[in-house]
Amino acid sequence: MKKYLTLFAITVFVFGTTAWAVEIMPFVEVSVGMRGYGLTVIAGTEISQFDVEVVGLIDEPGTENDFIVIRASGDAVERSGGIAQGMSGSPVYLDGKLAGALSRTALWGAEPHRPLGLVTPIEPMLRILEDLKHGLYTEGGFQGALPVERTEHVRVLPETLEEDVLYVLPVSVPVVTSGLSERALRLLEGGLDLPRFGEFSHLLELLPPWKRKVAGLGNYGITKFVQAPTGTVQTPPETLDFGPGAPLGVGLVDGDLIIGALGTVTLREDDALVAFGHPFLFSGSSKYFLTQAHIIDTFAALDIPFKLGVLGDTVGGIYADRWVGIGGFLGLEPKGVNALYQISDHTELHTEHLRCRIADEPRLTPLLLYIAGLEATDRTLDRIGPGTALVRFTIDGENMPWPFVRQNVYLSTSDIAAWIPLEAALTYMILEYNEFQDPEITDVKFYVTVVENLKAVEILGLATEKDAYAPGETIGFDLYIRTWRGEVESLHGKLTIPADVYGDYVELRAYGGPRPLESGEKPPLFENLEDLLEYLEGIPTFNTITVELFALDPLSEVAGQALLYGVDYVTEKTGMRLVYGEDRLIIPLVRGETGPEEVPQEEAPPETPGGSASGAGG
């Protein structure tokens, strides 16, 4: 067993340069057979005591994966049905001295019905406190009374348990939510698969390849999601101080929506504390909300027992999320991202607001923004179904050159709510991961108008005044459109062919919304955040009709294929109507002696030109 340099006094343990006002049991002094107790809340505000006996030690190289193996017993454990999720962080005392935090559960194949617990030694957890106070955010073996040859860390127990193996499972923490629908909960666990929203491929291309999917909490080892009761219980009328064994919440969203994890305080020194004994999301430095918590009861579930509780007011911040635990301060709250959703259902003449604050965690904030927007829309509409939405959102931050403002129209024949917060979440990700500077986003606001009927414009076709044109001439065209279940209309416009255009033809194309890059066009290049913002603001919206002229790239002849690029365009907004369909015309270029007057005229425009359907929504 490795040795530690320890200075031990009667009432304080000196670690580094910090004296802790609690007696410590160093890992090196723990031995099999020692007895003690742990502290946790099973229900209400009473801190319950349970008995522990050391049955083994896991001593790995370094200190991060050392554990004290204990067998827990007593009324509190029996009532919980074992070691429950939410008990992680419960302080464990041996011979009256703080030895560590209950952090994991384990099963021994020879006694599969007697679960064991793993305790994270207190020394590495004290380093978290020390770092916070200073402004900082395999080989090995098992020794003990059990005939165990090796330990195996697993998330799910295998069907067959080997008797000489100690299977270690994370106790984890139950994630408590309030005010979330069932489908929002599924997204919180599973994440958001962005590529399935193909209409936003132009935004996905601005993200790094590894950010094309927003992971849910399930990807971070969270296995239990509990929907807490709403109402007066949500703000606990009576809570414990944040002492050893008391519950605490780690908030990701507060306000009109509650999302956070439930755990137990291990040690508190003045306004600093450590908890869990294992990571939450393992982000290193963090900016989570430290909240009050109230335990309703602990349930002996069929899979893993868990605590049912509610999160209360935010009273501080969690600034360290490390392998051996989390740490933070009371009275020092992180800023977070303030989100406002104003959703108006013009079909039912009903408007609702949802206000919340979201923790600044780049890996999760876009997902939480999306979930909050989905929840706000579902609450307002009180249905899942078709509709058209006019959405205006703004994103602002301390380092933003100016507030980003975007207005767009979305349509869906099945689930309009799923589209409303998506573009804002994608834009947030693009700005958060931009290569120039941290925007330090502070505010995101949504103003949404929804109607149940489908409001759209279909592009039917294009017609030009002549069949062929010479370089330098102006093309006069008519664009034929039809409103959803309405009349056919025509729009007239003009585009000029460049005098130095290359090739034997040009292409005239009508389409709605943004378009992908053509083969002869280079991707956009940005020199600063201002360039990126201007590009994002200039992307055509889904209620924009564009008629664009394309020409051949002179280098395409060398490449052996026709490469097109856009040379000129005109646009038209359609109000609260999504544009779908497209049409294109190949126009021959007349060169040499043939003049414009010799170009034959088209007799009449087509009566019902066709187009292929596309657009935002489904």
**Burial grade of 241 (CB within 10 A; 0-12, 13-18, 19 or more):** exposed
Query: Could you tell me if 234 and 227 are in contact, meaning their C-beta atoms sit under 8 angstroms apart?
Result: no
Please, what is the end-to-end C-alpha distance for the chain in angstroms? 62
CA dist., res. 390 & res. 411, Å (int): 9
CA dist., res. 131 & res. 99, Å (int): 20
**Burial grade of 462 (CB within 10 A; 0-12, 13-18, 19 or more):** buried
Q: Tens digit of pLDDT for each residue in 160-186?
A: 666 666 665 555 677 888 888 889 999
Q: Which of 282-286, 324-328, 399-403, 516-520 holds the top average pLDDT?
A: 399-403
CA dist., res. 428 & res. 303, Å (int): 37
Q: How many CA atoms lie within 13 A of 519 on its CB side?
A: 12
What per-residue confidence (pLDDT) applies to 11? 36
φ, ψ for residue 234, nearest 5 deg: -60, -35
What per-residue confidence (pLDDT) applies to 132? 79
User: Which of 83-97, 522-536, 586-600 has the lowest average pLDDT?
Assistant: 586-600
Joined together, the tokens standing for residue 547 give 């008629």
* CA 562, chain centre distance (Å): 41
pLDDT band at 3 (very low <50, low <70, confident <90, very high): very low
Q: Tens digit of pLDDT for each residue in 18-55?
A: 445 678 888 888 888 899 888 888 777 778 888 888 88
pLDDT band at 577 (very low <50, low <70, confident <90, very high): very high
Given phi > 0 = left and psi -120 to 50 = alpha, else beta, which region is 425?
A: alpha
For the cut 50, the answer to whether the pLDDT of residue 606 exceeds it is: no
pLDDT band at 517 (very low <50, low <70, confident <90, very high): confident
pLDDT band at 152 (very low <50, low <70, confident <90, very high): low
Average predicted confidence (pLDDT) for the chain: 81
Edge-to-edge strands of the sheet including 7-8? 7-8, 13-15, 18-20
For tokens 């009371």, the residue is 330
* CA 40, chain centre distance (Å): 31
For the cut 90, the answer to whether the pLDDT of residue 389 exceeds it is: yes
What per-residue confidence (pLDDT) applies to 2? 38
Query: Could you tell me if 339 and 356 are in contact, meaning their C-beta atoms sit under 8 angstroms apart?
Result: yes
- For 563-587, what is the mean pLDDT? 92
Q: Which of 157-171, 276-290, 302-316, 363-377 holds the top average pLDDT?
A: 363-377
CA angle 33, 36, 38 (to 5 degrees): 135
Strands (E), 305-349: 306-322, 325-330, 337-345
pLDDT band at 414 (very low <50, low <70, confident <90, very high): very high
For tokens 């005044």, the residue is 465
Show the domains of the chain with their CATH numbers.
Answer: 7-170 (2.40.10.10), 456-598 (no CATH)
User: Which of 68-77, 286-295, 561-570 has the lowest average pLDDT?
Assistant: 68-77
- For 238-255, what is the mean pLDDT? 85
What per-residue confidence (pLDDT) applies to 232? 39
Distances (CA, A) of 477 to 105, 459, 464, 564: 73, 14, 4, 20
User: Which of 128-132, 233-237, 375-379 has the lowest average pLDDT?
Assistant: 233-237
> Quick one: the chain helix, strand, coil %, rounded to 5?
15, 45, 40
